[in-house]
Amino acid sequence: YFLYFSIYFYFFLNYYSFLINKKTRRSWLQLHTQKKRFSADYNLTIGISIIIIPLGLLTGFLRLRTNIKLEFFHILAFIGIFLTIGLVEEVIFRGIIQNLLDKVFKSHLPSLLITSVLFGMTHWNNAEPGFTLHYIFLASIAGIFYGTAYKRSGSLFPAIFVHTLVDTLWLILFI
Helix (H, G, I), strand (E, B) or coil at 81: helix
At residue 121 the predicted structure's pLDDT band, cuts being 50, 70 and 90, is: very high
Of the ranges 50-59, 125-134, 139-148, 149-158, which is most confident?
139-148
* pTM score of the predicted model: 0.74
Does position 7 have pLDDT exceeding 60, yes or no? Answer: no
At residue 98 the predicted structure's pLDDT band, cuts being 50, 70 and 90, is: very high
Q: Report CA-CA distances (Å) from 128 to 51, 103, 131.
A: 21, 36, 6
Residue 134 confidence (pLDDT): 84
Does position 105 have pLDDT exceeding 50, yes or no? Answer: yes
Whether the Cβ atoms of residue 21 and residue 27 lie closer than 8 Å to each other: yes
